[in-house]
Structure 1
Amino acid sequence: MPELPEVEVSRRGLLPHLPGMPCLGAITRAPRLRLPLPDLNALLEGRLLSAIHRRGKYLLFEWTPRAGIAGDQEGWLIVHLGMSGSLRLVAADTPAAPHDHVDLRFPHTVLRYRDPRRFGLMVWHAGPHPERDPRLAVLGIEPLDETFTGPWLHRALAGKTVAIKQALMDAHLVVGVGNIYAAEALFRAGISPTAPAGRLSAARCAKLATAVRAVLAESIALGGSSVRDYVHSDGGMGGYQLSCAVYGRAGAPCRVCATPIRQIRQGGRSTFYCPHCQAR
């Protein structure tokens, strides 16, 4: 599933090409993704795309009101890539493949949404304040925000008995730290993924907050992780998965101490860690 770095890489890849451009219309080739698709052509044709934002793993496309339509107001297209979604810029005459479900047409390019599993979503929020959308209102802190610090994390984890890896992946607490990045951050911080979250000291929370921010920033710099279906807006692959210290390396020697990397299951997901470097 595309996580925070992959979604942020997608956003940054679109920024040089789309904001400030008018939408010429939309083409939908499926009635629904995870939820039924709105009438995108009716909603977007004639609007100007003013900005592209990100909240957690959601992309927020901000659209201006349409001139000459009484009562028309700004709106937001909220997009989630689901398990296998991607957004690509293609030429207008590029034939659609079987899993290319939505095209947004601009004067110089087409923004094409591809999703083999159709677990993504596109929903419309009319008017200002997209943060009030029920999907966004429940989201936790942004880990790349300057307010995500060791002291904040220590306070947020107080009293929690859940394992720290599962706490990091709880979007109501911290957004966008998926399976790969939680495992890699815990390795860097020297913390066992099974440690009770509420028992971490202030010092260890400080190390973990620093590790989370560093891992996410490095992944963004490397174009994210292309483990399954994720690709950039130009069709390129991410490279962070090639530098992982523990994720996907079960049985391989730890790059620090040579102890074999161990794999366990937590919350239905695979967890990878070094039992020596993350003994505590």
Structure 2
Amino acid sequence: MPELPEVETIRHRVEVAIAGKTVKSVEIYSPGLRRLSPRDLQERLPGQRVISVDRRGKYLLMRCSSGTVIFHLGISGSLLLRSPVAPPRTNDHFDILMEDETILRFHDTRHFGRVAWTQDDPMHHPLLAQLGPEPLGDGFDGHSLHRMTRGRSIAIKPFLMDSHNVSGIGNMYASEALFLARIAPTRASGRLTEAECRVIVASIRETLQQALTTEEQALSAGAGDEVDPAVAVSFNVYGRSGQPCRRCGTSIKRIRQGERSTFYCEVCQK
């Protein structure tokens, strides 16, 4: 699933390519998407000028002259920039064609992506209204994390992954940030001290910023539209079950928390 650094990288690349341009048409290849039929976009988008492309959590917002398209990439989705001569592939759902012939293509292999349209403030849309603070924003700090976790028995890793608490932290980077913070993912969130919460927030910011830098470098080096974070990022714990910890040499442990795999070092993380 695309996580926050991947979504932010897509946002920047798409905004540079289409901001200020006008939508000419919408071409549909596969109409079956969650939330909204692309046929609605076919009626609403032509003639719209793209103002900006923003991000809220893992959602992308294409702000237009009289409304906003909200994208969620689901498990396997992406927004691809294509030329008019590039034929659609399997699992390409629709194209948004600009007047200068730039194509924004929605690709989703597993069909879990969402697309919504609103003419109101998108931050009040049901998809966005209940999201927690941005992990890289000013509204998320050690004090606020400590306050949010009071009285909570849930383990810190699933707490961080709940978008109602913090918006956009996925499985990979939650594991990596907690390793950097030396906090066990199984710790009860309500028992963390404020000092530990400050360390966790700083580790989340460092982990996400490093991933953003790595993705941008990979794209600049000609990696194409889509960068696989499992390849681009050198993980300390994620996906390294049974391999030696880069700090102490102990074998990395893999457990299940909810429906997700968690990776950590039981010696370094307490």
TM range (shorter): over 0.9
- Taking the aligned partners of 2:191 and 2:105, their CA distance within structure 1 comes to 46
> For the Cα contact (< 8 Å) 2:30–2:91, is it kept in 1?
no
For 2:56 and 2:93, locate their aligned partners in 1 and report how far apart those are by CA, in whole Å.
23
Name the SS of the counterpart of 2:117 in structure 1.
Answer: strand
- 1:219-267 CA distances to partner (integer Å, 9 max, x unpaired)? 111118x9xxxxx994242456541100000000000000000000001
Number of aligned residue pairs? 263
- What are the superposed Cα offsets for residues 1-37 of structure 1, whole Å, 9 maximum, x if unpaired? 1111111010011122110000011011222212341
Aligned-pair CA distance for 1:182: 0.5
**Partner residue in 2 for 1:265:** 256
CA contact under 8 A between 1:53 and 1:60: conserved in structure 2? yes
Structure 1: tracts of 5 or more residues without a match: 65-73, 227-231
Q: Which residue of 1 aligns with 2:174?
A: 182
- Tell whether 2:111 aligns with 1:121: no
Is the aligned partner of 1:244 residue 2:235? Answer: yes
Among 193, 197, 206, the alignment partner of 2:198 is 206
Whether the 8 Å CA contact 1:263–1:271 is kept in 2: the answer is: yes
Q: Among 63, 84, 87, which residue is 1:95 paired with?
A: 87
Cα drift, residue 108 of structure 1: 3.5
Q: Residues of 2 paired with 1:147 and 1:268: CA distance?
A: 29
Contact 1:140 1:174 in 2 (8 A): yes
Question: Percent identity over the alignment?
Answer: 43
Report the 3-state secondary structure (helix = DSSP H, G, I; strand = E; otherwise coil) of the residue aligned with 2:118.
strand
Residues 104-119 of structure 1 mapped to structure 2, 5 A cutoff: 104-106=96-98, 107-119=100-112
Q: Would you tell me which structure has more helix in proportion to its own residues?
A: 2
Normalised TM-score (structure 1): 0.90
Provide the rounded CA distance (Å) in 2 between the counterparts of 1:208 and 1:171. Answer: 16
Alignment of 1:119-268 (within 5 A): 119-127=112-120, 129-223=121-215, 234-239=224-229, 241=231, 242-268=233-259
Cα distance in 2 for partners of 1:146, 1:100 equals 37
- Return closer, same or farther for 1:239/1:165 CA change in 2, 3 Å cut-off: closer
Asked if the contact 1:10/1:233 (under 8 Å) is kept, the reply is no
User: Is the CA contact (8 Å cut-off) linking 1:89 and 1:233 kept in structure 2?
Assistant: no
Contact 1:26 1:40 in 2 (8 A): yes
> Which amino acid in structure 1 is aligned with residue 3 of structure 2?
E
CA distance in 2, matches of 1:31, 1:102: 8
- Asked if structure 1 preserves the Cα contact closer than 8 Å seen for 2:53 and 2:61, the reply is yes
Instruction: Give the alignment partner of residue 74 of structure 2, picking from 59, 82, 87.
Output: 82
